[in-house]
Amino acid sequence: MIYDNLKKNKNNIVEVQNKVIIHFVKGPYVEIKGSTNSEYKVEFIDNKTDKIYYSTTIKNNCWCKCSIEYCVEWKIKIYENDKLWYEYIYNAKGKRVYIAMDSKALGDSLAWVAYVEEFRKKHQCEVIASTFMNDMFIEQYPNITFTTPGIAVENLYAMYCVGLFYNNDSSVNLFKNPIDPKTQTMQKMCSDILGLDFVEVRTKIKKRNVKIDPTLKQVCIGVFGTAQSKFWNNPTGWQDVVDWLNNKGYTVKLLSKEGDDYMGNKLPNGVIQHPNGPLELVMDEMLKSKAFIGIGSGLSWLSWSLNVPTVLISGFSYDWAEMKDCYRISAPRGKCEGCFNRLRLDAGDWNWCPDHKGTDRQFECTKSITSEMVIKELEKFL
């Protein structure tokens, strides 16, 4: 039995030490393998603050893991018989890191992908990323390997999932989101998870070869979203704005693919509806336009990504929730607003209005946004 724990070499006899296995796939993981029987105290420490997030004791041929899945510059200390036996500091340089986008939404992907590249540059690592629209990004980020969601990726040093994660009781899962993402901008939700300092970064998307006529007076609009609370619920708002644009000589193209009377919402008169087709053709129409006017939806993020002047009308979110570089129209002071940043959206309730549903104040936030408020922003650059 003693010999089982010994190994001969040419000079002497040395004890075989147990082997430590460490990775950071959905949280820091430590496994100690080997035949030397011993107990080890393992500490998972934030290397920047020296805060110990988790500590436990394991034996050889056992493993332990900290539940925190977002990126932390970990320092792992392992003690044997109260003496420091092994220490390791997170270092992703040259290693394979997988970053998975947990959302299929266009706006989420456009908000987040830029920070995958920022992570790669910071850590000088090999990044594999999965999104549900890889074709939008693959040409613009040649140093990132894009893969299909759900495909197994091997030989990883670390893995992070980007999204808004909840517990069963609808509280935010703070093991996956270090800060309540509803209280942060859409982009900062991603930079928080990836351990990056937040600076607004415009995501690069596939280039389009569009011949732009500088004399073309065209404005695009997007009036539909995935919940009624996202809509501009002023009953005459869109029509007033379209009439104003038409009177100024602008052609107004509707880029939303939903038809008239979708979920009870009527289309304004005086618009040309863009036919259903590839997203690339929507991008072309945006690029030919003097502006895009939309709500808190993916089309507004697409317009912003293309660097088209973007007018964003929203009351269900606070005015800091989306991109900064836009013309933002919010609910007037004193009106209800920001439910999306205060509560969990019930995606199964189309008429979700958690504060005033069923009352005359339902959707007050956007009902109170007037066409004059939107036109005032348009007059700044049209």
What does the pLDDT look like over 260-314, one tens digit per residue?
889 999 999 999 999 888 999 999 999 999 999 999 999 999 999 999 999 999 9
Q: Is 374 exposed, middle or buried (0-12, 13-18, 19+ CB in 10 A)?
A: buried
Nearest to 369 by CA among 381, 380, 377, 379: 377
For the chain, percent of residues with pLDDT exceeding 90: 93
What does the pLDDT look like over 13-37, one tens digit per residue?
445 589 999 999 999 999 999 999 9
Q: If you search the block for the tokens 């800091």, which residue do you land on?
A: 320
pLDDT confidence of residue 276: 86
Q: 221, 242 in Cβ contact below 8 A?
A: yes
CA angle 359, 336, 260 (to 5 degrees): 65
Q: Give the pair of three-digit tokens for residue 6.
A: 């010994």
Nearest to 139 by CA among 69, 74, 209, 77: 209
pLDDT confidence of residue 250: 98
Distance CA 156, CA 144 (A): 15
Lowest-confidence segment of 1-10, 193-202, 231-240, 320-329 by average pLDDT = 1-10
Q: Give the pair of three-digit tokens for residue 333.
A: 């002071």
Residue 9 has pLDDT above 70, yes or no: no
For the chain, percent of residues with pLDDT exceeding 70: 96
pLDDT confidence of residue 17: 84
pLDDT confidence of residue 12: 45
Task: Output DSSP code: residue 336.
Answer: -
Question: What's the average model confidence in pLDDT over 104-120?
Answer: 97
Question: Using N-to-C axis directions, what is the helix angle for 371-378 and 237-247, rounded to 10°?
Answer: 40
- Mean pLDDT of all residues belonging to the chain: 94
DSSP string for residues in 160-213 = EEES--B-TTS-B-TTT-SS-GGGS-HHHHHHHHTT------PPP---------
pLDDT confidence of residue 277: 86
pLDDT confidence of residue 202: 96
What does the pLDDT look like over 35-63, one tens digit per residue?
999 999 999 999 999 999 999 999 999 99
pTM: 0.91
